Amino acid sequence: MTEAHGAAAGLAARGAAQAALGAILRNRRPLDAAIEDALGSTGLSQRDAGFARAIVGETLRRFGQLDALIRAYVPKAPPPHKAGPTLELLLASACELLFLDVAAHAAVDAANRLAMRDAKAKHFKPLINAVLRRVAREGTALRDAQDAERLNTPDWLWTRWCETYGEETTRAIARAHAEQPPLDLVMKDKPVEMEGAAALPGGVLRLRNGVRVDTLPGYRDGAWWVQDFAATLPARLLGNVRGKRVIDLCAAPGGKTAELVAAGAEVTAVEREPARIARLKENLERLQMKARLIEADVRDVAADMRAPFVLLDAPCSATGTIRRHPELPWIKSAADVTLCAATAGELFEAAAEMVTDGGMLVFAVCSLEPEEGSEQIRDFLARHSAFRRAPITPDEVFGLRELVSADGDLRTLPCHMAEQGGMDGFYAARLVRN
């Protein structure tokens, strides 16, 4: 970060970042919605809006470290009803100093200015100033001595991941979460030339993040869509679907629908939320693809639909996507996993009704939690003798053996393909009706 983002130039961006952090940490708003609202009608340049996003994203990725460091100086956090956004100012400014390489005088001065703009925070300006000056002097040494992987993973996730994957893998997952994820583009037909792009298996191009998607070559022509490499794998497990009927359940935003249409399938895409199905329709129109779209709850249409191929990407806690949604560990809890698992079970039952005799069902979730993945399959097969597991082979996932579990299911982790930038965490199992 350069001097151009000094106190005056970046004050509005910092104000938007502070507002977004408050909405996320206090009201559990998703990051994308919070930053969108905070930027609102600020009229910030693309560069300053990017600066605001960088502050929010990095503060959340490093939240555990920053919180521990601030608490070392302020053991008892100022009560929000008295201090207003004081804590958000401390967290965001410490992030600027320790992780975004902003000049100390710029970050500290901006925090003081923002504090003076708030009727409550202005009374805590001396505290803000004193803490940030200490962070500027001493923070680097304290940061380097921290157990970053442990601090940036809240207890509720650390405990369950260590039990499921072991501490070594849990630490590798945490390291992946601390990095800004790349941008993956799935080519519709032939690859599009893009500067700096790396080719991944399955017609995926990987770019460094931070670029505006709508400015990339081929966007307006519908030559590709955005989809993480791991997210492309569940649809592939259906095999050759050319000329076949496929039902894509919980289909928005449409990456899997696009994959299936591109593979020559006759796709029926089901989505419950009006806003999400509108986005699905918009994405298909840009890609110049056609699918039958149904706005409905999967559980309400199960009795009326049948197909030889069914794909259910069930709603879940989404803990496999923390690289892209760093707010999730701090706004969700184990209770969310339990609730999502119950809903997924109901949708699973509905999806199974849609599979014709001899047909195939792929169940997938972008979660790292066993209750939402492998335990769903175990419990389903115990109830349904008409279905059997059809194990996945490494050849079906481009020879990447580490992506196939001992049971023959797909299990990707954020730390897989770490040298190439990692991937989202996905679980998928393939079942066949006898």
Query: 308 is written with which tokens?
Result: 């030889």
| Burial group, residue 323, by CB count within 10 angstroms (0-12, 13-18, 19+) | buried
The count of other CB atoms within 10 Å of the CB of residue 196 is 9
What's the CA gap between 350 and 355, in Å, rounded?
A: 10
What's the CA gap between 105 and 247, in Å, rounded?
A: 57
- What single-letter amino acid sits at 419? E
Residues forming a β-bridge with 198? 206
Among 250, 316, 366, 415, the one annotated catalytic? 366
The verdict on whether 250 is a catalytic residue reads: no
Nearest to 310 by CA among 429, 230, 412, 403: 429
What's the CA gap between 121 and 27, in Å, rounded?
A: 19
Query: 369 is written with which tokens?
Result: 């939690």
Asked if 38 and 19 count as a contact pair (C-beta separation under 8 A), the reply is yes
Pairing of β 307-313 and β 355-365:
parallel
Catalytic residue list:
366
